[in-house]
């Protein structure tokens, strides 16, 4: 059976579908629209208003920093928290200097991106809503190391190794990684939960079976990049 490829990453569940497969009762990660290969691009949880050019973010986003492109986007009510977390020194011109010496100018969000399904998250945001169709989203190569922190997620472990029975059928997971324990940001319902994606990922091959115990026939094979998170 021809393998399918997905990128499994954090970025809040706003524009993204939840992975169809579960780990026991856990859905591992948030899945970007399936790209043609694991080396494709991913959509970041922010963009720009088509009308006024102001920054619009997923209402669950705390910040995203992409050091390769000197990009830093921050929720307006979390500026001080993010500066402390990144150990950045603020200058009089508004720029931040990171401990590495890199200088970034924070882009402070002014809109919360609204979709038909994220009304509760928008209501929790301090920002006014802006319909998703009015936003030009930002994309980045999947391999770019963008660190992202979001609300209503928590960092959990799973092992990419062996066979796991699911509610229907089973899945066999294998990886070429020496450390077979992966992490991912799992969605929760608690606004106080926060999860930071590191920007690094591990690749797991998953074969789904019709029967328990990973007994043939199989249904499909997927190769997923799981973006790691800080515990």
pLDDT of the residue at 8: 52
Q: Cβ(149)–Cβ(73) under 8 Å?
A: no
Phi-psi bin for 162: left (phi > 0), alpha (psi -120 to 50), beta?
A: left
Question: Residue 32 carries which DSSP code?
Answer: P
pLDDT of the residue at 231: 83
Q: Give the SS3 label for residue 113.
A: strand
Rounded Cα distance, 111 and 42, in Å: 21
> Which two tokens mark 94?
């508004």
For the chain, the straight-line distance linking the first and the last C-alpha, in angstroms and rounded, comes to 36
pLDDT of the residue at 100: 96
pLDDT of the residue at 60: 97
Enumerate residues 6+ apart whose C-beta is below 8 A from 150: 10, 11, 12, 45, 58, 60, 61, 62, 185, 194, 195, 197
- pLDDT mean for each 10 residues of the chain (231 residues): 45 35 36 40 91 97 94 97 98 97 98 96 95 95 84 95 96 96 93 92 94 95 91 83
The pTM (predicted TM-score) of the whole model is 0.79
């Amino acid at each position: 059976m021809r393998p399918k490829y997905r990128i499994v990453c954090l970025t809040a569940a706003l524009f993204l579908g939840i992975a169809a497969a579960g780990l026991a009762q856990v859905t591992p990660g948030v899945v970007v629209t399936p790209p043609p290969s694991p080396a494709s691009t991913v959509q970041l949880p922010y963009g720009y208003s088509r009308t006024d050019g102001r920054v619009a973010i997923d209402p669950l986003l705390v910040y995203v920093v992409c050091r390769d492109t000197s990009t830093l986007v921050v929720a307006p009510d979390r500026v001080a928290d993010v500066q402390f977390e990144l150990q950045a020194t603020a200058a009089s011109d508004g720029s931040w200097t990171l401990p590495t010496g890199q200088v970034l100018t924070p882009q402070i969000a002014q809109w919360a991106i609204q979709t038909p399904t994220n009304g509760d998250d928008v209501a929790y945001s301090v920002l006014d809503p802006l319909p998703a169709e009015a936003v030009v989203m930002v994309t980045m190569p999947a391999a770019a190391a963008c660190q992202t922190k979001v609300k209503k997620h928590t960092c959990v472990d799973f092992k990419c190794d062996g066979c796991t029975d699911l509610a229907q059928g089973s899945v066999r997971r294998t990886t070429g990684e020496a450390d077979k324990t992966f992490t991912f940001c799992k969605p929760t319902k608690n606004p106080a939960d926060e999860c930071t994606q590191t920007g690094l990922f591990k690749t797991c091959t998953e074969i789904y079976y019709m029967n328990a115990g990973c007994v043939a026939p199989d249904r499909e094979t997927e190769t997923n990049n799981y973006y790691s998170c800080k515990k």
